[in-house]
Amino acid sequence: MLRCRPWSMLLVLVFCSWPGAFSLAQKAVPLTIEQRQTFDQELQTLQESLEALHDRPASDIADASIFSKGLQWALQYDQQFSPRDIALMKQAIVRGKQRIEALDANKKPWSTRKGKLALGYVSAVDNSVQPYGVIVPENYDPAQPIRLDVVLHGSTRPVGMSELRFIARFDEGDEKRSSAPDKPYIELHPLGRVENCYRWAGETDVFEAIEDVSHRYNIDRRRIVLRGMSMGASGTWHLGLKHPDFFVAIGPYCGYVDTHHFSETPLKNFVKVGPLPPHQELGLHMLDSIDYAANAGVVPAIACIGEKDVFFQAHVLMVKAMQQEGLTMVNLISPGTGHVIDPVTHAEQMRRIGLYVDKGLDRQPQQLRFVTWTLKYNRCHWLEVLGLQQHYAKAVIAAHLRDDEIDITELQNITRFAIDISRLSTVPQKLRIGKTELSLSPANTTRTRKIVIERKENVWSLADRKGKSPLTGKRPGLQGPIDDAFSSPFLCVRGTGQPWNAAVQAYSNASLKRFADEWQHYFRGELPIKNDTDVTDEDIRTRNLILFGDPGSNSLIAKVLPDLPLEWTREKLRLGNQEYPADKHVPALIAPNPLAGENRRYVVLNSGHTFREAELAKLNYLLFPRWGDWAVLQIDPSYTGSTPIKENVLHAGYFDEQWK
């Protein structure tokens, strides 16, 4: 651990707020009837004007829509507003109109503006508009590729005003000004769906924002940096170590790395996470970045923390985890400081990051050692893990390219993997796995450009499917748990037929409504919903289907049921060797959608996220999977949906690697 000298001037970033939260200190009051009517009318006008721009590119409309979307959420979820909030709402109306008028005149002045900008994109997850901030330096030349620094914000309680307060940090108007910084990089500030530690759709948001920025600016993909403070640092550990071939370096500043130890932080609002049911303990291996410490051997991590930071123990734990993997963690400690950014320490962090940026990302490393616990995170440069012996157990693969031979020096809990020949500096002729030597003929290495190796009956051999993943079993993109279905495009489907059991249908309807409310409030988008009779082949091909109801009410449940690891009749349902009366039990599960063929889409029964508003409204480290791949829920057979949902989880867990 290295100590950096303190400095008298500190840039203070409070753990639970962004800059801009100063408005919370001002007295907040309800809107008057006149104010409410005016805002509602202006919002309607903005939305109608945006609809009239339907022939413009979606990205252009998104840049204008971020203001009306922010105003809509503020009016829907907040009851009281400070003077600063009201000013931001009025400013959103002005700025929304300005961008709409510019687009209507076929102009887009913000596309060439330097300095701070607030932009937007349409998320593929739910077709919602999501805002992000960028800071373009004065010296940016579109003809020259430029470094991109992705900066993740700290924790903030999600409220209706969240978007408008976030946008206010970056929106300086669209006219050219002289406020642009003199830096050798563009900064991208994703919203991350506000508050989830960049998990689930929040994780997707970061990468979608990167792609949107890369379409607008000439980004050097070999020089993308990920950094952040507090929750942003936790997100940096999380995303950086699980996608170690994407970033040239990561810079976490004061961020947690696990669930259990972090939950024991002596703060009044913290909730201790004690021993959990076995399936929930396993699920933590998907999220806790400390389990992926070994991947810092691939992506350089330059960490910082204050000597008196209440979360100091988090970096101590990561130091030990890296030591166990044979690595030395760079941990710059600012003497005498708490949970703040010390400018001197931060400057040293940026200097060290710059050294890696100068070299650029090495896309053809000669040797790799990669660790994962799930096929959700399965790739590291030219290595891809395609099959595990057991999910949520540590999987390790280490490989070394020597001349014309690849030597697999370590292999643990992996049954199938691939080597992307096109990403290697030389074409290998041989592959060695322990005592097994496989010859790689020119046909193998030139026809597919990716060779797949699999273990059958304890013997390693080359797969004969030309690099394709198997059609059965857990595989990348189809590995669960239930919550993973909401990180990629999905569609909720309500049943319109005659239900087998009225109470089950009432529960399913209430569960869908609950999910819609939670998704809009906490994931900042309208939940995509269709009736089962309206689902198209395109929906099945491109989206995860989230089916609510039973085989009687939902025709799609009836269609997929024969291919699911579940028996379900009017009288009973069975998972594994357990049988339950069907009139007072509801199955919730995730599995590959048999209707989607090889398109790698999920089907989910009767569940949104398995964590609820109690966790979403509290602390982001509580957003871990509660049910795994499946659960059996006990309900009141007389339930009609007129009262709050009461569900008793009888059993929950994971399917095996063959979805059984």
Domain for residue 70, yes or no? Answer: yes
Distance, in Å, from the CA atom of 547 to the CA atom of 549, rounded to the nearest integer, reads 7
- What confidence score (pLDDT) does residue 440 get? 87
Please check whether residues 424 and 499 belong to one and the same domain. no
Residues 171 and 291 in one domain: yes
What 3-state class would DSSP assign to 453? strand
179-182 contacts, C-beta under 8 A, 24 or more apart: 179/115, 179/116, 180/114, 180/115, 180/135, 180/136, 180/137, 180/138, 181/115, 181/135, 181/137, 181/138, 182/137, 182/138, 182/139
Residues of the chain with pLDDT under 70: 1-25, 178, 443-448, 465-471
Task: Looking at the structure, tell me whether residues 442 and 488 fall in a common domain.
Answer: no
**pLDDT value at residue 179:** 78
Same domain, 238 and 209: yes
Q: Give the pLDDT score at 449.
A: 84
- Contacts of residue 500, defined as CB under 8 A and 6 or more positions apart, other chains included, come to 550, 551, 552, 553, 570, 582
pLDDT at position 390? 98
Q: Which of 462, 492, 513 is the last residue of a domain?
A: 462
| pLDDT at residue 154 in the model | 97
> Do residue 333 and residue 457 come from a single domain?
no
Query: Contact 658/473 with Cβ under 8 angstroms?
Result: yes
Domains held by the chain: number: 3
Residue 597's pLDDT is 87
Both 12 and 67 in one domain: the answer is: yes
Q: State whether 192 and 81 are in the same domain.
A: yes
Same domain for 438 and 488? Answer: no
| 298 and 417 fall within a common domain | no
Tell me: do 28 and 170 sit in the same domain.
yes
Q: Supply the pLDDT for residue 269.
A: 94
Question: Which range of residues forms the domain containing residue 533?
Answer: 482-653
Residues 245 and 281 in one domain: yes
Confidence (pLDDT) at 19: 40
